[in-house]
Amino acid sequence: MIMFKNQIILLSLFFFPRTSLPAPMFSRNTISVWSILKKCIGLELSKITMPIVFNEPLSFLQRITEYMEHTYLINRACSLSDSVERMQAVAAFAVSAVASQWDRTGKPFNPLLGETYELTREDQGFRLVSEQVSHHPPVSAFHAESLIGDFVFHGSIYPKLKFWGKSVEAEPKGTITLELLKHGEVYTWSNPYCCVHNIILGKLWIEQYGTVEIVNHSTGDKCVLTFKPCGMFGKELHKVEGYIQDKSKKKLCVIYGKWTECMWSVDPQAYEAHKKSEKKGDNKKQKNEEPNGAENDDADDMPEVQETVSVVPGSTLLWRIDCRPAHSAAMYNFTNFAMSLNELEPGMEAFLAPTDCRFRPDIRAMENGNMDEASKEKERLEEKQRAARKQRAKNDEEWSTRWFQMGTNPYTGSQEWIYSGGYFSRNYQDLPDIY
């Protein structure tokens, strides 16, 4: 009898998230995107209705939860006593948080106003709650916390999408804040730009670019990371480079790598010396290089150059990406972490909020490979949302958010959505009926 009890306890301690979806994805080849998009150049993408085959079966709220895939890097930062090493771990976390975008060209579902998502991962030591707090413009707010009180990680994302003819660019609006509670440290940053190329012709591919500045608000120390645009010959494809500097702008260390692969740190002198010796070798090589693809007007092909990161002697590895599962390509290029996000385990219905994305019928139908139903359900939900908005306007009612409120971020002074707490007490009275 005692044996039996122990086994039950063991089972509930070791929950293994699923590692695959119920159905593979639908082929997109038969649809002409161009016929849909040619009328819309320059429009904001949220105003265009795209057929559901271009989606992936996740809500944007679930997609931003993927920032947490490498939570072990925050846990590492918490455990380090050296402040520069802590900043290195935080920088690796900031890069790893956008690594799941690699080859993910499916568009997540726009969350409905009032939609929520929660995720508790005891194995990784965190829980997260998010809410769609605004519809026009779309704003998603999230709050994650360590299960043992080591850190809080929060922010709000305003994905501003622009359609540029051949590509779609997502501007990363909103600040992300990480608080390491035991060290009394606060770091803030914003994500890089993300661009999906060749949405009409050619092979889809993703580029991230822009500068990400991670600021330590206790000291004014900074980590400046540049996500490089790929450039003419693709030499810079996926590269990220930067450094940590102190208040007096002294470079303390260099950080480099690729957001699709790995990140390293090294002493600034060693880095400069290595770069100089590389340049000498490079001058000889460059003459033979072909400007391949430069004359192709139809598609901006992803450059072929695929050399991996060349490691400077003396570097320390900060992070390396995990392999995606073998069936990933047939499943929207999801990582193992992404595969599990929409899983509805038996028993979960009893405690999830009724507004949780896992209950969205359109996403569930798409995940099961039932595209017609998914498409119908998506239309029905959007219509229901419009009707509810009209009704509110008629009654002169304002929408009120449930788990987040506008407030001032004490570290940046800016107006932000701040978690008001209480979600995990699971009082779901008066939640809106959005599905």
Least gap, CB of 86 to ligand NAG (angstroms): 6
HSE-CB at 288 with a 13 A cutoff on CA atoms is: 3
Burial 260-293 (b: 16+ CB within 10 A, else e): bbbbbbbbeeebeebeeeeeeeeeeeeeeeeeee
Using an 8 Å Cβ cutoff, are 156 and 416 in contact? yes
Least gap, CB of 273 to ligand NAG (angstroms): 24
Using an 8 Å Cβ cutoff, are 118 and 59 in contact? no
# residues contacting ligand NAG (CB under 6 A) = 18
Q: Looking only at residues 333 through 392 of this chain, which bind ligand NAG when binding is defined by CB under 6 A?
A: 333
Nearer to ligand NAG, 53 or 112 (CB): 53
CA dist 427 and 212 (Å) reads: 38
Least gap, CB of 32 to ligand NAG (angstroms): 17
Nearer to ligand NAG, 134 or 409 (CB): 409
CA dist 108 and 334 (Å) reads: 12
- Antiparallel, parallel or unpaired: β 107-109 and 55-59: parallel
Using an 8 Å Cβ cutoff, are 87 and 251 in contact? no
Q: How many residues does the chain have?
A: 435
Which position among 201, 232, 317, 329 is part of the footprint of ligand NAG (CB under 6 A)? 329
Instruction: Choose among 23, 84, 105, 43: nearest CA to 333.
Output: 105
Nearer to ligand NAG, 19 or 400 (CB): 19
The answer to whether 218 contacts ligand NAG (rule: CB under 6 A) is yes
Least gap, CB of 403 to ligand NAG (angstroms): 30
Nearer to ligand NAG, 221 or 356 (CB): 221
Say which residue the tokens 């995940």 belong to.
Answer: 367
Nearer to ligand NAG, 105 or 175 (CB): 105
Which position among 185, 300, 367, 416 is part of the footprint of ligand NAG (CB under 6 A)? 185
The answer to whether 167 contacts ligand NAG (rule: CB under 6 A) is no
Which position among 110, 124, 140, 216 is part of the footprint of ligand NAG (CB under 6 A)? 216
How far is C-alpha 342 from the geometric centre of its chain's CA atoms? 15
Nearer to ligand NAG, 105 or 132 (CB): 105
The answer to whether 332 contacts ligand NAG (rule: CB under 6 A) is yes
The answer to whether 221 contacts ligand NAG (rule: CB under 6 A) is yes
Question: Which range of residues in 255-263, 265-273, 310-318, 325-333 is near ligand NAG by CB under 6 A?
Answer: 325-333
Using an 8 Å Cβ cutoff, are 20 and 339 in contact? yes
CA dist 30 and 53 (Å) reads: 10
Q: Looking only at residues 74 through 133 of this chain, which bind ligand NAG when binding is defined by CB under 6 A?
A: 83-84, 86-87, 103-106
Strand blocks (E) in 164-269: 167-173, 176-180, 185-189, 193-197, 205-216, 222-227, 239-245, 251-258, 262-266
Question: Which range of residues in 60-68, 139-147, 328-336, 371-379 is near ligand NAG by CB under 6 A?
Answer: 328-336
Nearer to ligand NAG, 36 or 84 (CB): 84
Tokens found for residue 86? 């802590």
Least gap, CB of 216 to ligand NAG (angstroms): 4
CA dist 329 and 39 (Å) reads: 31
Peptide bond into 137 cis (omega under 30): yes
Interface positions with ligand NAG (CB under 6 A): 83-84, 86-87, 103-106, 185, 203-204, 216, 218-219, 221, 329, 332-333
